[in-house]
Structure 1
Amino acid sequence: MDRQKRLGEEPIGSLLLKFSVPAIIGMMVNALYNVVDRIFIGNIPDIGKDALTGVGITLPIMTIIMAFGMLVGIGTATAISIRLGQGKKEEAENILGNAFVLLIITGVVITIVGLLTMEPVLNAFGASEVTLKYAKQFIQVIFIGSIFNVMGFGLNHSIRADGNPKIAMFTMLIGAILNTILEPIFIFVLHLGVRGGAAATVISQFISMLWILNYFTRGNSILKLRVKNFKLKKEFIISIFAIGISPFAMQLASSVVQIISNNALRNYGGDVSIAAMSIISSVAMIFMMPIFGINQGSLPIIGYNYGAKKYERVKEAVKKASIGATAIVVVGFLVVEIVPHFVITIFNSDAELVRVGSNGLRIFLFMLPVVGFQAISANYFQSIGKAKMAMFLSLLRQVILLIPLLIILPIFFKLNGVWLAGPISDVLSALITAIVFYKDVKALK
């Protein structure tokens, strides 16, 4: 059966497995970039805790870089899926070509702006005199290779929209395996320290990018990168940005949260609490990346069937995706509540960090079980092209609720106030999302 035709005809459960499992593996592999960085950097002799804090300071910047990859990447993938569902292959190929150019421009701008503003930005993001050095060493290398990051991450979404989720998975797998091999060599064997960790990440992202470009030029892709489609066209740019603005805004919001959080942590808990949050973020990422994988896998299924007006298949896809997502986050909840000390010591065994981190981990991720449904529901609106609602629901958890809580709660509960902001925001956003989602789904006819 034709790869695109099967989106509208094969059983939804089978499609979700075919598309989401590779995407989940791919996203888990993608999470390893940051998690492996933190594990190896956190275990550098003598400087591990301070270096881990420094890398934690750069997290908002890493999030912003990923945001631009999502703006173009997810916007492109959704636009392509909908047009393929409508039978407009040539227009989908035009969008892919425009996305390629947009990602190049984005990567170059990030490199230039990042290198020029690095130190004041890191200071504003919560760096101290001790941790600034390590933060600069790490993020400088990341900025230099940012074009590989946004290009690989952005175009990988389009491979799934092209109907080839396994290739998308292998793309991330290649990069993550290479990163895991290079990290200890660069950090411990070549004694490059924090810079070595960043260099391993950049080299791995470069290889992933080459793999993707080969797929869209010489591989068996339905859509091809053609020079004639590199000329930017207003209607395609608007189409990409209109849909991609929701995950972009969510990621930017996440970076704002990280900045506010880092400063609150520094004020109420010192550098050790920032190191703890760096670990907590890595742990949360391990369990959230599968949810993003389910979202990516379901995106072309929902988008295609919505474009083809097969609404019962749309509903079934969302329902089954929500069940799978909830199962994953419940497992994550059990892990962080039962063995928090063990989780923290994987990154660093400093007694104070283990104590602060374990307490923060259990509180901050206490409402993890409701996050799966909230994320899938927001993705539903994104998949069908309702960018404004998708953006609202995404911002609800990351900005509208979380930022005020991060500002207000520490005033009364000090460091615990920072940790409490997470679960309160999670449960309130899930309740509001449920109301909006069920109302919209019932209207599908």
Structure 2
Amino acid sequence: MDSSKQLGEERILHLIVKFSIPAIVGMLVNAIYNVVDRIFIGNFVGPEAFAGTIVAYPYMMIVIAFGMLIGIGATSLVSIRLGQNKRDEAERILGNGFSLLVITAILLSVVTFIFLEPILRAFGASDITLPYASEYLRIILFGFGFQLIGFGMNNFIRAEGRPSIAMKTMLIGAILNIILDAVFMIWFDMGIKGAALATVIAQFISMVWVLRYFFCELSLLKLKRENIPLRFDVVGGILSLGSAQFSIQLANSVITLLFNRSFGQYGGDLAISAFGVVNSLSVMILMPMFGINQGAQPIIGYNYGAKKYDRVKKALKLAILGATALSVLGFVLAQTVPEFLASFFSDSEEVTSSAAHGIRTFFLVFPIVGFQIISSNYFQATGKPKKAFFLSMSRQVIMLVPAILLLPKFFGVDGIWYAMPVADAISSVLTGVLLFRDIRALN
């Protein structure tokens, strides 16, 4: 059965599982790079070094945002050209995408090297955490190119319809990062330098594996020298189509930066470390939900276009149930064993105790988060990007930024912890209202 027929005829549950699992693995692998570093640093270096990596994290998210801008924008164009049977143009986009990734990596590395200390100060580094954050990021910046090229070019493998290969290339880097973290930090006792070096080496191997694909027989598209020079029309198309995901990822970075600065202002380095623990746990639970999101999108979109609205509603329902099951599990764990969860990231009793309190508060309305994430993506899948963008931003920016800025003025550090559940609750109500109206129109 070809891909079009399977989307319109195969059992919805089977499709959701088939399309979601590679996406879930990919999302988790992307998160593992930073989370594993934090676990090793928190346990084998100390809370100050752990806080240093948390300060550096928003900037690393900005680097990933540029990878999404180019990678997702270019692969969207590639998919269209392949659908039009224009393989030569698709390969030109592949070559231009590669060039953009290399140029962006060089520029980001140079800027970071020159302005490293002011950047980290702006992102919330204190006199205590600055040396650790600087030491970590100074090594990581040498891997910006590996990270951008590996992450960005991996999107082209998915565009060719080979999600399992794309998943494997990411797994190679993540598993290697875990092994090297253990070797450098436990065996060689290299501290935070070991964590950074492990990440850079793992990203390099992952990048080589991805690039190797485009020179082997398996690939439909080839990376050719004649397609490397940039063309303004191609570059414009790439940046235009990738700008939405870039904006969302950039917003995530800004939010993390605001959290770091607020926690630093009202609670100091200890509060930043605690937030790092909570944020790491949140990311690990949210990533599978975003994987379900990615898996459900083509199923909902295809059947909506085919006017098979019963299948649309069934796919939406199953995706919401799956994501809600994960969000409820996250809530239960957060409320019952927060100290146990926090202990993975630090052997400091102070950090663990503060993080446990933050986990309970941060996850207060988590059971409804799965619904909000899937439902806002429904509008993207059905060709209503404005509503989808508004709902995504309502949770991540529109409601959250005012909450982060205002609540601590009245409730101190607790006010910052309450910012996320407040934003989740309000954005979920907005999402529910818009979804109810849209589903009623389908009926």
TM-score norm. by structure 1 comes to 0.90
TM superposition shift of 1:380: 3.7
How does 1:13-412 map onto structure 2 within 5 Å?
A: 13-44=13-44, 47-81=45-79, 84=82, 91-302=89-300, 315-383=313-381, 386-412=384-410
In structure 2, C-alpha distance between the alignment counterparts of 1:365 and 1:37, rounded to whole Å: 23
Contact 2:42/2:347, CA 8 A, preserved across alignment = no
Moved more, 96-105 or 412-421: 96-105
In structure 2, C-alpha distance between the alignment counterparts of 1:79 and 1:12, rounded to whole Å: 28
In structure 2, C-alpha distance between the alignment counterparts of 1:234 and 1:398, rounded to whole Å: 33
Q: 1:200 to 1:398 in 2, by over 3 A?
A: same
Percent identical pairs in the alignment equals 50
- Secondary structure of residue in 1 paired with 2:247: helix
Deviations along 1:305-344, whole A, 9 cap, x unmatched? 6677766655544443222222212111111111000011
Contact 1:7/1:304, CA 8 A, preserved across alignment = yes
TM superposition shift of 1:436: 3.3
In structure 2, C-alpha distance between the alignment counterparts of 1:202 and 1:53, rounded to whole Å: 20
Uncovered stretches (5+) of structure 2, i.e. residues with no partner:
none
TM superposition shift of 1:197: 0.2
- Secondary structure of residue in 1 paired with 2:171: helix
Contact 1:38/1:52, CA 8 A, preserved across alignment = yes
Deviations along 1:187-217, whole A, 9 cap, x unmatched? 2222221111011111111111122222233
In structure 2, C-alpha distance between the alignment counterparts of 1:69 and 1:254, rounded to whole Å: 14
Contact 1:84/1:304, CA 8 A, preserved across alignment = no
Contact 1:85/1:308, CA 8 A, preserved across alignment = no
The one-letter amino acid paired with 1:198 is A
How large is the RMSD of aligned CA atoms in angstroms? Answer: 2.7
Moved more, 80-89 or 291-300: 80-89
In structure 2, C-alpha distance between the alignment counterparts of 1:26 and 1:139, rounded to whole Å: 24
The one-letter amino acid paired with 2:265 is N
In structure 2, C-alpha distance between the alignment counterparts of 1:301 and 1:84, rounded to whole Å: 20
Moved more, 384-393 or 132-141: 384-393
In structure 2, C-alpha distance between the alignment counterparts of 1:213 and 1:367, rounded to whole Å: 42
TM superposition shift of 1:407: 0.6
Q: 1:264 to 1:426 in 2, by over 3 A?
A: same
Moved more, 335-344 or 348-357: 348-357
TM-score norm. by structure 2 comes to 0.91
Q: 1:82 to 1:427 in 2, by over 3 A?
A: farther
Q: 1:248 to 1:354 in 2, by over 3 A?
A: same
TM superposition shift of 1:299: 4.3
The one-letter amino acid paired with 2:400 is L
Contact 1:243/1:385, CA 8 A, preserved across alignment = no
Q: 1:286 to 1:305 in 2, by over 3 A?
A: same
TM superposition shift of 1:185: 1.1
Contact 1:42/1:347, CA 8 A, preserved across alignment = yes
- Secondary structure of residue in 1 paired with 2:214: helix
The one-letter amino acid paired with 1:356 is S
Moved more, 187-196 or 227-236: 227-236
TM superposition shift of 1:86: 6.2
Contact 1:98/1:233, CA 8 A, preserved across alignment = yes
- Secondary structure of residue in 2 paired with 1:113: helix
In structure 2, C-alpha distance between the alignment counterparts of 1:438 and 1:343, rounded to whole Å: 36
Q: 1:136 to 1:426 in 2, by over 3 A?
A: same
Q: 1:333 to 1:93 in 2, by over 3 A?
A: farther
Contact 1:161/1:300, CA 8 A, preserved across alignment = no
Contact 1:160/1:297, CA 8 A, preserved across alignment = no
Uncovered stretches (5+) of structure 1, i.e. residues with no partner:
none
Contact 1:96/1:225, CA 8 A, preserved across alignment = yes
